Amino acid sequence: MTTYHYERFSHTVKRRVPCLICGRKVSRQRTFSQTDSPFNKNADGTRKTIPEIRQSLYAEGHAWDPIATCAHCEETS
């Protein structure tokens, strides 16, 4: 059995958003990642290039809209 290892690309996004309940600022972080594999394809079926992978990661990060509650409000709920 053969194991293949593909190069992984990641992009971390940090956001400060208001708590849904009290309005305090809450920090949230998320890491988006993709690999440079033959299974990572564009909508037209062609394999993504490294610049295309990075562009899609930045687009995912830009579109991410976290919804959060602060720790204090989570405890009282």
pLDDT (tens place) for every residue of the chain, 77 residues total: 999 999 999 999 999 999 999 999 999 999 999 999 999 999 999 999 999 999 999 999 999 999 888 888 888 86
Instruction: For residue 9, list its beta bridge partners.
Output: 34
Let me know the angle formed at the C-alpha of 43 by 12 and 9, rounded to the nearest 5 degrees: 25
Q: What is the pLDDT of residues 14-26, one digit of tens each?
A: 999 999 999 999 9
Helix and strand element counts for the chain (H, E): 2, 2
